[in-house]
Structure 1
Amino acid sequence: MITALLIAWLVTLSVQLFFILFVFSRTAFYKQPEYGSGESTPGESTPGITVVVCAHNELANLTELLPLLNAQQYPEFEVLVMDDRSTDGTDTYLENEVAGLEHVRFIHIDGEHEHVTPKKYALTIALKKARYPTVLLTDADCRPASDGWLAGMVAGLTNPAKSLVLGFSPYERRAGLLNLLIRSETLFTAVQYFSLALAGRPYMGVGRNLAYRTKLFFDNKGFYTHKNVLGGDDDLFVNEVATSRNTAVCLDPDTFTWSQPKETWAAWRTQKRRHLNVGQYYRPGHKRRLGLLVGSHVLTWVLALVAGVVLLVKELLQQPFTPDEWLLLLIAAGLFACRWLLFWGIVGRISYRLAHTVHWGIMPVVDTMLAIYYGFAGLRTLFRRKKKKYAW
């Protein structure tokens, strides 16, 4: 049993080392292309862009966001606000104030439709009504890092082979454990989707910062296959249409969109349950790959704890390890230390590149915290008994 335990630990450590060294390192050392410098095949240098914001009772956020979007430095663009059944005065604000924002227009949506969820309906209408053949998506509670956000995000589409650009949206730093967990989970999710995209296996993006050609959307029938799934207007769509050839990533700090984090554990749990519910609709290959990555992360720490307990018990009972068991234990402990240091260094470097989402000095704490979080999230998903309906 002890030999089997140590062999299992060695296997999980090997899987982790593979991901860290050969997948995560792609993001850590990625050099953002200088489009137009010959590294890509340029098409139109400045294609027109439609920025889409879907909003439901987001008056306070829209009053801050729309002037920032209107001030983006780009030759030809529009900001299209989809006001979905708001009751907080958003309609009055848009009708009375938006006239002063030259790039902004809006569409009111007055009702729900049984055949599709509200946000997917709003996005579909937005893409049909967009003036330009490329859209850049964000949420009302996001704020672009600079007035070069739009230009930076769509730069990857100057290569005609690219139809999709994955961006990053960090959460604002606040005090407390909840905020640290939110930022840590956001960082590690970005590590995964950026790294796998750079490895030729794109599987998701975030709708807070995502650009694609409308042709890609309509050629793949939009949200048709998951139109009744609440959520997934970003990651399920990317999961279906993204390929190694048509997907670009953007790690330029000027293109990040900063989001406001949940303030209570209850609100955050509701958000994460919806995300976990969406994950079950990923393509089988993506689910297996992510299961291997996350499962090995959790088991690395679980088996380390079990091995430590076994060692302590055997010492207390004065039952020494055999020479073979000692050899396996020393090899596994060495790999564990190697994996621990590499995670610290490589994910810490990625965090530095992604707006210092989490300070590199506490990366070992984040590593352990994520293992605990993914372990409990996995158990909850495994034993989920009933579905809940979550809000827009």
Structure 2
Amino acid sequence: MTIFLILVSGLYALFTAVLGFTWRNMRPFRSAGRALTGPAITVIIPVRNEADTIENLLNDLSRQAYARFEVIVADDSSTDNTLSILEHYARSASFSLRPLPLTNERTASPKKRAITQSIALATGDLIVTTDGDCRVGPEWLATIAAFYEATGAKLISGPVTFTTGQTVFDALQTVEFASLIGSGACTMALGVPTMCNGANLCYEKRVFAEVGGFAGVDHLASGDDELLMHKIAATYPAGIRFLKSPSAIVKTGAHQSWRGFYNQRKRWASKWRAYESYLPSILAVFVFLSNAAPVMAVGGWLLGFLNGNGTLAVIGLKLLPEFLFLRQILVFLQKKSSVWVIPLTQLVYPLYVLFFGLAAQGKGYSWKGRNLN
């Protein structure tokens, strides 16, 4: 067992070191000049019960340096006054804002339905998606447009982090989320895209239609981002890019309740069974085993099956390269203050991965007041 655990941890250390090297060699994108005009963009925001946050995002959009964009906000039968806020804002908005009320019909994936119906009305050549609780900077759309024109990417994944955290729970979520954003960015740079986030995602409207939209994955509640990316990558292997630019960072609120956190992470974890490519599934299993290794090592040491040196080797091979990688990502995301939480996150993360890896095998979770499968 000692050899197996050290082997798994050693492979994980090599994997993490490759990610860290890849991130360091990804040049930050800086456009020669701020893009004020370019491709027409349609920003799509699926919402449900976002009355407390949606106006902040709309105000951010009103301050965009980029002018050639429209916004469609698909309201999925909110039970608060989200729709009335949208309709009131649209009357005086400095940009084209279209509230799109959706019928309260039962569907396996409300968010995919909202995006699909919005795209049917979109006039932009590029579709940019974000969420109703997000905040964006004034250069957000200008940076996306400039990057698109510079690269010709078919799908662009942007950086996402949490707004300023006030609690240790917030900081833990920030570190964990940074690991997902960084890993996804590096696998894109390596030509084997695995993860992205729909809170900051851009793709060509034409390509969305070409790959059949969400057809084939529309029976799953989650996956409006990653599963679509995998479909586009299958047609355009070199067309998936990560936008490494501070001006493109989107911020969203961390969960304030364990129940909300649990349901979101279970929803995310449930996607892996739908991956058509073997690589993301293999990676998910590998990460699961890598996080199980230190838990098994400590258990083996307590039970006398593993000596102290072997246990320390397994733990060290995981923690050191992981810390160095996460620190890079947090600094880029302007979350240097969260670096101190990395060791605490590393302490609880193996148990977290094991828990959600097993929880994802069960069906059903609650999201936005709905029970979904």
TM-score range, shorter chain: 0.7 to 0.9
Which residue among 77, 86, 89 is the counterpart of 1:94? 86
* Displacement of 1:231: 2.1
Residue aligning to 1:360: 339
**What is the identity, as a one-letter code, of the residue corresponding to 1:25?**
F
1:349 aligns with 2:325: no
* Displacement of 1:307: 4.9
Asked whether the equivalents of residues 133 and 213 of structure 1 are also in contact (C-alpha less than 8 Å), the reply is yes
**What is the identity, as a one-letter code, of the residue corresponding to 1:374?**
V
* Displacement of 1:66: 0.7
1:52 aligns with 2:44: yes
Asked whether the equivalents of residues 109 and 122 of structure 1 are also in contact (C-alpha less than 8 Å), the reply is no
* Displacement of 1:132: 1.1
* Displacement of 1:76: 1.3
| CA deviation vs aligned residue, 1:265-295 (integer Å, no higher than 9, x gap) | 1121122222222332123331112211332
Residues 57/306 of structure 1: CA separation in 2 closer, same or farther (3 Å cut): closer
**What is the identity, as a one-letter code, of the residue corresponding to 1:187?**
A
Give the whole-Å Cα distance in 1 for the aligned partners of 2:29 and 2:163.
27
SS in 1 for 2:354: helix
Residues 36/116 of structure 1: CA separation in 2 closer, same or farther (3 Å cut): farther
* Displacement of 1:361: 3.2
Give the whole-Å Cα distance in 2 for the aligned partners of 1:388 and 1:19.
32
Which residue among 354, 365, 371 is the counterpart of 2:350? 371
Residue aligning to 1:253: 246
Residues 160/184 of structure 1: CA separation in 2 closer, same or farther (3 Å cut): closer
Q: What are the ranges of 5 or more consecutive residues in structure 1 without an aligned counterpart?
A: 38-43, 315-324
**What is the identity, as a one-letter code, of the residue corresponding to 2:76?**
D
Residues 298/308 of structure 1: CA separation in 2 closer, same or farther (3 Å cut): same
Asked whether the equivalents of residues 57 and 86 of structure 1 are also in contact (C-alpha less than 8 Å), the reply is yes
* Displacement of 1:200: 1.1
| CA deviation vs aligned residue, 1:32-57 (integer Å, no higher than 9, x gap) | 244569xxxxxx97212111112222
Give the whole-Å Cα distance in 2 for the aligned partners of 1:107 and 1:280.
34
SS in 1 for 2:334: coil
Residue aligning to 1:297: 291
1:224 aligns with 2:215: yes
**What is the identity, as a one-letter code, of the residue corresponding to 1:11?**
L
Give the whole-Å Cα distance in 1 for the aligned partners of 2:251 and 2:312.
39
Root mean square deviation, CA, Å: 2.8
Which residue among 171, 175, 194 is the counterpart of 1:184? 175
Give the whole-Å Cα distance in 2 for the aligned partners of 1:129 and 1:271.
29
**What is the identity, as a one-letter code, of the residue corresponding to 2:14?**
F
Residue aligning to 1:196: 187
**What is the identity, as a one-letter code, of the residue corresponding to 2:217?**
H
1:212 aligns with 2:189: no
Asked whether the equivalents of residues 327 and 336 of structure 2 are also in contact (C-alpha less than 8 Å), the reply is no
SS in 2 for 1:66: helix
Q: What are the ranges of 5 or more consecutive residues in structure 2 without an aligned counterpart?
A: none
Residue aligning to 2:147: 156
TM-score, normalisation: structure 2: 0.88
117-126 or 25-34, which deviates more: 25-34
1:139 aligns with 2:131: yes
Residue aligning to 1:240: 231
1:267 aligns with 2:260: yes
| CA deviation vs aligned residue, 1:10-52 (integer Å, no higher than 9, x gap) | 2112211221111243124421244569xxxxxx972121111
Which residue among 9, 30, 38 is the counterpart of 1:13? 9
28-37 or 159-168, which deviates more: 28-37
**What is the identity, as a one-letter code, of the residue corresponding to 1:337?**
G
SS in 2 for 1:212: strand
1:165 aligns with 2:156: yes
Residues 183/100 of structure 1: CA separation in 2 closer, same or farther (3 Å cut): same
* Displacement of 1:156: 2.4
* Displacement of 1:338: 5.1
Larger Rg, first or second structure (1 or 2): 1
1:308 aligns with 2:285: no
Give the whole-Å Cα distance in 2 for the aligned partners of 1:184 and 1:173.
12
**What is the identity, as a one-letter code, of the residue corresponding to 1:140?**
G
**What is the identity, as a one-letter code, of the residue corresponding to 1:155?**
A
TM-score, normalisation: structure 1: 0.84
Asked whether the equivalents of residues 184 and 370 of structure 1 are also in contact (C-alpha less than 8 Å), the reply is no
SS in 1 for 2:203: strand
Residue aligning to 1:317: none
Residue aligning to 2:23: 27
Asked whether the equivalents of residues 203 and 239 of structure 1 are also in contact (C-alpha less than 8 Å), the reply is yes
Residues 34/64 of structure 1: CA separation in 2 closer, same or farther (3 Å cut): closer
Give the whole-Å Cα distance in 1 for the aligned partners of 2:102 and 2:290.
47
SS in 2 for 1:131: coil
Report the count of equivalent residues: 365
Residues 134/390 of structure 1: CA separation in 2 closer, same or farther (3 Å cut): same
Identity of paired residues, percent?
21
* Displacement of 1:389: 5.7
Give the whole-Å Cα distance in 1 for the aligned partners of 2:144 and 2:18.
26
**What is the identity, as a one-letter code, of the residue corresponding to 1:99?**
R
Residues 173/64 of structure 1: CA separation in 2 closer, same or farther (3 Å cut): closer
**What is the identity, as a one-letter code, of the residue corresponding to 2:52?**
A
* Displacement of 1:188: 1.5
Residue aligning to 1:128: 120
Give the whole-Å Cα distance in 2 for the aligned partners of 1:303 and 1:389.
32
